Structure 1
Amino acid sequence: MGQKKKLDLLALSSVPLVMTLGNSMLIPVLPSIEKELGISSFQVSLIITVYSIVAIILIPIAGYLSDRLGRKLVMVPCLIIAGLGGAVSAWASWKINDPFMWIIFGRVLQGIGSAGAAPVVIPLIGDMFEKDEEISAGLGLTETANTGGKVLSPIIGAFLATFIWFLPFWFIPFFSLVSVLLVFFLVKSPKKKKEKQSIKEFFHQVGKVFKSSGRWLYTIFAVGCIIMFVLFGVLFYLSDTLEKNYHINGVTKGLLLAIPLLALSISSYVSGKKIGNNKHLMKMVTLGGMGLLAVSFVAIRFQHEFLFLLSFLVLSGIGIGVSLPCLDALITEGIEKEQRGTITSFYSAMRFIGVAAGPPTYAFLMGKGDHMIYYVSGGTSLLAFVLVLFFIRPPGKEEEEKDKKNKGEHLLNPT
């Protein structure tokens, strides 16, 4: 991988980092926002939910546009929109007496921007490299940046809120501007061939992809959703447990939340570097990751004292971390460039659904008892293990050799 490509990856890695910070950074600040604005818990939860719902709806559209118009042409304006959304929320919090609806409007803008920013990174990396092992390494780096944002966000958000409750909003346009500059000046998109397909023909080709490869594509969509559902649900549960059971809050709570996320981030980086273009290894690593995730929650069910809880959640973070670059690589390397943005956008949307569904579901389960958290987390993780085991089937040696000679064919055997 050349030095120029490394700079491209560095710039692209800023995009998921910025998007994650712009959302997750607000989670530890929500109690302060609720208190300052005098709003209900449901209203304050909309600050996160509205962002996710808007992104879920628009991600497939952004993926389609990136296939038709170009990745960078979609990504840069969307980063600017995300920054403007943060600025609207920040300005309203500072200058308006009753800013709640303006904050929500700003979060809607952020959701629009996020839909065309972070999800487009995956297909763009697939476009930039010819070698599958370079694609895997690049995707591992961006997953590391994504998780790095999750590691830093509770710490940064809690720290900023100790000064002024709305200060985290102001950092969103700042981070977005940095990412815009990096992407605009450092990322050189591969030259796009002149598009001869009509829209009807394009969607016909996308339909053919789902018809021929739907079995493994739907599996990756489902597993990506499950991983994000468990991850964000467990983070919500851990945050609540640290505060209510152990009376730990503020920056200290942010640091403790960051421990399993740091394990996730490191394991993502290592996994992306090691899997190369070996599809069989990708499947085995994903199986191992989902198995480790399921076993961690079985162990927590029987021993959930504080140190054991944190230790087992570190193991679950490793399980998620090693799996994510494998899923990214399987779907990116298995789809032709012309439809890659559209197909991977469905995967990104499913991950956002998991993010949006995790916290409210786990909040409901917590009312039923901690044991329900462990049963649901372990059960869904086991479901992901079974799906990967039976529905993702890498090609045999002969098929893999054929694929190297015919680069346009899909890399996975759906049968």
Structure 2
Amino acid sequence: METNIKYFIIIFSVTLMAVLGIASVSPALPGIAEHFNLADEDFGLIISVFAIPGILLTPVLGFLSDKFGRKIVIVPALLLFGVAGFMCSVAETFEMLLFFRFLQGVGAASLGALNVALIGDIFAGPDRPRIMGYNHSVLSIGTATFPIIGGILSGISYEYVFYMPLVAIPIAIYVLFFLDLDVKGKSHQTRLYFSSFLKLIKNRNLLTLLIVSISLFIILMGPFITYVPYVAKERFALEPTFIGIILASMSISTSLTAYFLGKFLKRFQHESLLKIGLLGYGLALGMIPLYNEWYMLFISTAIFGISHSFVLPNSQSMIIKFSDENNRALLMSFNRMLSQVGQALGPVLSGAVFVYFSDGIGVDGIYIVSVVFAVSILTIFSFFYNKPEELA
């Protein structure tokens, strides 16, 4: 039990750092945009540039983690994340801020994959989706509290938001001394390693799940994380603290739902909950243009949060089923890479849609397009995913 507690601390701490870089910064986006005099469609770059390193580095770091062990990747990643994140607070130009955000993204690149890989290393059978649900609850607690803290800090000055990543440094020290699990793959002939992985991702079910993975982060990071703060500020004139509370309410509903995910899975199949979640994304976002009072945003954040708890941990549990100890970190890192693509594309695509509709319905166009996108992904999943005989 004591050993499990040690691993829980490591897994859950890494999970919290994996979401800190975006969740804490989102309420500060309007303030950062105002400080650097950015165009409305440009402040999404603060999110996108953070995600870009993961597109290139996450699979490489996953391979290194499979080959040499988790600790050798996680510890330097946490240290870089903390130091580069703090350096954002002293950036004098927007270009310098983006540079440090890029470096912080390098540090964050592996964290969101290796936390899940560690769950796969340590837990098996019915325990795995249960722990995945607990991990998502912890993630949701982070995405609930970090926006509130970030909103309060950015209400004083946006620079204070970038002090928060410093907490990654003591976590790195803890991992250095207490992660003693031997999780190196047993067979690491590099050519065989990658050829088996390429064969793996040709599986139609896995490919379909990976499409869902990239799509859910396009929806999350674009219409929700980047432009809900815009709607809150520009349409309802809310201060950063209240913007943080609105974003946090989504994570509270996610956390509560994810905690009971194991119970839901006793009554519903993985794919059924995933379909409900995709439909819920469209419903939550499609309602936003209809609101004429700021507190109505809580309706969408609650629906979005419940939907997210059905989509993200479910898709991760379904994806990890395709891996073994030799390629688990690489597969989850590849999945993480796709999520980083989604994180990078979401704000940019949403900004492009905003510009397209700027002479008409403006930001509401983002949410109309989001409904179409969510329904399209639901259709793709329903058509191409064939339920396996067994899915733990």
Normalised TM-score (structure 1): 0.83
* Contact 1:290–1:385 under 8 Å retained in 2: yes
Q: Partners of 2:178 and 2:40 in 1: how far apart?
A: 42
* Contact 1:221–1:350 under 8 Å retained in 2: yes
What is the Cα deviation at residue 371 of structure 1? 4.7
Work out whether 1:202 is the aligned partner of 2:183: no
Structure 1 residues 68 and 393: CA distance shift in structure 2, 3 A: same
Aligned to 1:271: 261
Aligned to 1:151: 144
Aligned to 2:310: 322
* Contact 2:185–2:326 under 8 Å retained in 1: no
Matched residue type, 1:119: A
- Once structures 1 and 2 are overlaid, which stretch shifts more, 18-27 or 55-64? 18-27
* Contact 1:12–1:187 under 8 Å retained in 2: no
Work out whether 1:107 is the aligned partner of 2:101: yes
Aligned to 2:383: 390
* Contact 1:74–1:117 under 8 Å retained in 2: no
Aligned to 2:168: 176
Match of 1:332 among 320, 325, 333: 320
Q: Partners of 1:274 and 1:217 in 2: how far apart?
A: 22
Aligned to 1:118: 112
Matched residue type, 1:52: A
What is the Cα deviation at residue 194 of structure 1? 4.4
What is the Cα deviation at residue 74 of structure 1? 1.1
Aligned to 2:241: 251
Aligned to 1:228: 217
Q: Partners of 1:81 and 1:283 in 2: how far apart?
A: 37
What is the Cα deviation at residue 42 of structure 1? 7.2
* Contact 2:44–2:347 under 8 Å retained in 1: no
Structure 1 residues 108 and 272: CA distance shift in structure 2, 3 A: farther
Structure 1 residues 337 and 241: CA distance shift in structure 2, 3 A: same
> Is the radius of gyration larger for structure 1 or structure 2?
1
Aligned to 1:189: 181
Match of 2:291 among 304, 326, 332: 304
Q: Partners of 1:266 and 1:50 in 2: how far apart?
A: 31
Matched residue type, 1:10: I
* Contact 1:161–1:168 under 8 Å retained in 2: yes
Structure 1 residues 140 and 186: CA distance shift in structure 2, 3 A: farther
Q: Partners of 1:29 and 1:115 in 2: how far apart?
A: 22
Match of 1:218 among 207, 216, 236: 207
* Contact 1:143–1:265 under 8 Å retained in 2: yes
Aligned to 1:407: none
Provide, for residues 47-78 of structure 1, a one-character-per-residue CA deviation record: whole Å limited to 9, x for no partner. Answer: 33222111221111111111111122211111
Q: Partners of 2:253 and 2:2 in 1: how far apart?
A: 28
Q: How many residues align?
A: 385
Q: Partners of 2:22 and 2:234 in 1: how far apart?
A: 23
Matched residue type, 2:193: F
Structure 1 residues 388 and 187: CA distance shift in structure 2, 3 A: farther
Q: Partners of 1:36 and 1:392 in 2: how far apart?
A: 47
What is the Cα deviation at residue 82 of structure 1? 1.2
**Which structure 2 residues correspond to residues 133-148 of structure 1 after superposition, within 5 A?**
133-148=126-141
Matched residue type, 2:331: I
What is the Cα deviation at residue 348 of structure 1? 0.9
* Contact 1:362–1:373 under 8 Å retained in 2: yes
Structure number with the bigger relative contact order (C-alpha 8 A, sep ≥ 6) is 2
* Contact 1:268–1:324 under 8 Å retained in 2: no
Aligned to 1:77: 76
Aligned to 2:341: 353
Matched residue type, 1:285: L
Provide, for residues 202-235 of structure 1, a one-character-per-residue CA deviation record: whole Å limited to 9, x for no partner. Answer: 1111122123x2x112211111122121122223
Q: Partners of 1:152 and 1:141 in 2: how far apart?
A: 16
Structure 1 residues 292 and 311: CA distance shift in structure 2, 3 A: same
Q: Partners of 2:35 and 2:245 in 1: how far apart?
A: 24
* Contact 1:16–1:118 under 8 Å retained in 2: yes
Normalised TM-score (structure 2): 0.88
Aligned to 1:50: 49
Structure 1 residues 287 and 6: CA distance shift in structure 2, 3 A: farther
Q: Partners of 1:378 and 1:43 in 2: how far apart?
A: 23
Q: Partners of 2:159 and 2:113 in 1: how far apart?
A: 27
Q: What is the DSSP-based 3-state SS (H/G/I as helix, E as strand, rest coil) of the residue aligned with 1:338?
A: coil
Aligned to 1:28: 27
Work out whether 1:261 is the aligned partner of 2:251: yes
Matched residue type, 2:67: R
Aligned to 2:14: 15
Q: What is the DSSP-based 3-state SS (H/G/I as helix, E as strand, rest coil) of the residue aligned with 2:156?
A: coil
Q: CA RMSD in A?
A: 2.7
Structure 1 residues 117 and 25: CA distance shift in structure 2, 3 A: same
Identity among equivalent pairs (%): 25
